[in-house]
Structures are given as structure tokens and as C-alpha cells.
Structure 1
Amino acid sequence: MAEKEGVLHSIWETVKTVVYALLIAGIFRTLFFQPFWIPSGSMKDTLLIGDFLFVNKMAYGYSYASCPSIRIPALGVDIGADDFCGVFQGAEDRLWGSEPERGDVVVFRHPVTGRDFIKRLIGLPGDRIQMQDGQLILNGTPVTVTDAGIFEEEFAPQGPQGLRPRCANGAVGAGAVCEKRRFTETLPNGVSHDILDIRSQGYDDTGVYTVPEGHYFFMGDNRDNSRDSREPQASGGVGFVPREDIVGRADRIIFSSAGRSMLYFWTWRSDRFFKAID
């Protein structure tokens, strides 16, 4: 009898330890940092497919979007932040909130689908934004752009989804060098970052977007391969993003893998470990 009670006690202690660990992890993820794995090439060459980072949730304060999302397609699990904290949606203020700055790399919830997106903050409330011949025009003034050479990568499947990059040097064969034109863009507040250009496309020339109060305008650094605020939500784009949908700021890459799995150690990018995000 004593032996049976000892086994039950051991099992109970194990269960309690697991529950406490999950609670601590949940609180940590909700309040401080959220892991994020880069699934697409929309932010090249700032972020590459397979980069792993933690999102700083303390940077802008807290809203319903600060609650974790749990998505495991293989198990049919799809729980969004609104499922956990939907009661707080529509709140006028963020808890301990501070304003994002132009040029920040930000994770936010897509205003329609609820999926987590990562893009660069280009437009603040009240800004007027336009693209002319691929150049960003901010409040009527062209943003400074300088040539930064050519970005090269192998034309091969990338990441778990096996996505192949788009190339400015035309159709290239498997294993060949895929090129994109690279420029350094400097925003009015002095933030500089690289952008990539592939070829002329529809969103290289746009009308004027006026950012509404309480909203933000985001763009990917890989300008010709990004669905962002240039595309309206009705067409599957991001459109203007409400302040409450912001999750946090991406500050530093922790780990990076160029392969289909992070377990393929021979595909690790050692030069990107703990790399700051500009």
C-alpha cells in the first residue's frame, strides 16, 4: 500500500511540475517574449527564411494581441490571441503602451486573418505614402536611396515550405545564382536598411495612402515579394494595421537554419547567431 501511495505521489508531483512549467512558459510568452520563425522571403535580406527570433512584447505595451497564438496544422490546432483574450479587443489604449518608431521591424496580427506577420513600419498615423517607379515617397518627399550592390542566393528550395526565390536575372536553373538589386533606404528619422528590387510590378507605382489615426503602414524589405499595406485587405493584403493588432518589436536573430529543419545542423548559418536586426 505504501509503495502504491509512493508511486501515486511521484506521478502527482510530476504532473504538478509540468503544469507549473507550462504556466510559467505561458506567462513568459504572454508578457515578455514570443518566439517567431521566419517562413517567407518578404523581409530579405534583413531577415532570411529560417531565421529564428524572439519578439519583444514589452516594447509597445500590451493589448489583446499580446496573448499567445497556438497553431499546429498537423494536429488541427488553430487558437488565436483573440480566442484567449478577445474580451480585450477594441480597447482604446494599450497597457503600458509606447509608440512604435518608423523603421522598426514589427510583428503584428493580420487585421483579417489573425495570422502573425512581420514587416517594417514605414507609415505613422497621418502620414501620406506613395510609391513612384519603385521609390518610396513619404509625405511628398522621396526617401533617400543609395545603390548597395547585388544580393545573391542559391536558386533552391528554402525552409520547411520549400519556397524558391524570385530572381532579377531571369529564369535560372537549380543551384544557380539568383540575383536581386539591393539598395539602402534611409528614412526621415535616420533609420537605414536594405531593400531588394526584382523587377517592375504593379505596386511600384501607387496612389497616395493616407494612414488613419490609430493605424500604421507596413512594408516588406523585399519590396517585389511582399504582401503588405500597399495591398488592400479585400484583396488579401495587410492594409492599414490597427494599433491594437501590434504584437511586439523584433530586435535580434537568435538562430538561423537554411535547411528544411532546424535539426539539419549542416545548414545552420553561424554568421547570423544573435545578429541584431537593423
Structure 2
Amino acid sequence: MNIKELIEKHGDYNENWLILEFLTDKKTFELKMDLRFCVDSIYNEFLEIIEKRKQNYPLQYIFGRWEFYDLELFVDESALIPRFETEILVDEILKLDCKKDKILDIGCGSGAISLALAKNLEKSYIYGIDISKEAIILSKRNKEKLNLQNVFFFESDIFLNVSEQNFDIIVSNPPYIDEAEMKTLEKELSFEPQNALYGGKDGVFFYREIINNSLYFLSDKGVLAFEIGYNQMEIISNLLIEKGFEILLQKKDFAGFDRIIIAKRR
């Protein structure tokens, strides 16, 4: 069987081309230029992946790697899959006109945000924390893969094990799905760690904890930067203002949903 025959049989879908990229270690444009390329040796693996996808098992976990902010990261079930929307948060932090010498990433998961910041802020020190031991193991694997020396990962339940202070920026993409929405999640999300999704009954438990305790860890002009749920802009903005923060930025994602909020300590 060649590529042309495989695509005719299984459909000219973008996902099928991604699977072929993964199995052949070739780019889609290369594959399309050589449609007679024989795929007999990988066809059974292709079928196995198709079967897993029918069960809604995430393609990213099948591949064991995914791209985030031009970095290829290891991914597995110990941490959420890095999302394209989260790249907006990294973008906005890099554009901030503020000191960025020391940054704390709360709930680092695979290390995506921390590593993207470390790669682009070579003179800064980035600290990534997560309550999950398995997530920290994964983030450290990614650090080694990328050979970044200015980022450090360790276990901590929010600020519990954080001994450093005077962070210029505290960033977080915490769990923010509320109790009601947890019952209606897409099946694909059921394979991702549930404790990285569930944000308490109203979805803002972790934002409250971070905001209420952040003044002990931020520098005098420190900044809080969050990714948020689509319906949480008002409540999180109010939490920040009540704690004495000035809102610097409220931004939507590519689908038009509220997604990013950044605030500065007054």
C-alpha cells in the first residue's frame, strides 16, 4: 500500500497526515510530493492509532510529544496537553513593560509556559511548581530535552514550598473548570489529569488562593498573569481589584472567548 491508497481508504484528513508524519518522520509536504511512498511497514501502527482515536484517546498522548511556542515537548497523562490558546499568555508576558528577572509559574504541568519564557528570557530565572510529582518529572524531562539552564522545577501546593520572594511576575494557568462543567466534559478530556482541570465548585478556587497570597511573594511592582475560563473575566477582575491590583490587560482568545488577564500590584 502507498500513501495515495491509504488516504483514499481512510480519508484526506489533516489528522491522518499528522499520523503519517509521526510514523514516517517526514513532513506532510514531503509525503504529498511522494504519494507512491510505500507504507506497508507502518500500516498496522497507523490502524492502531486510528482505533485509539475512535476511543477519543488524545493524539498528543499517542505521539508522546507536542509543540508549544516553537518548542517540542514531551507530553503524557501526568499533565495537561499544552494548548495553542496558552501561547497568548506567553506572548503577553513577553510584551510586558516590566521587570522580568524572576518569574514563578504556578501549576506548570509539562513545563510549557516556564520553558517558553526561559527560552525567550535568557537572563531571567523561571521557577515552575506543581502539586503533582509526575508533572514535575515530566517538566524536568522537557528541561533536559531543551537544555535550558535558567528554569527550575519543584513540587509545591501553590505557595506551600516556595521559599523565594520578590517575584517580578507570577503566572498561572490553573484548573478552572467548575463543578457543573466537569460533568459535561468532552470525552477526550477524560484522559487528561482531572486535578489539573477541576477548579472547585465555582471554578475560581485557585485564583482566589493565588491572588489572596500573592502579595507575600510579589515584588513592589509585581504582576499577576492568568489564563482564565471563558466566563470568569468579571469575577477574577473583581478579586484582583479587591486585593489592590490594577488591571493592565484583558484579552480574548482566537475564538473570541475571554482568556487572559494581567494585573499589576498598586
Bigger radius of gyration? 1
Say yes or no: TM over 0.5: no
Higher strand proportion? 1
User: Which TM bucket (shorter chain)?
Assistant: under 0.3
Which one has more relative contact order, counting CA pairs under 8 Å at least 6 apart? 1
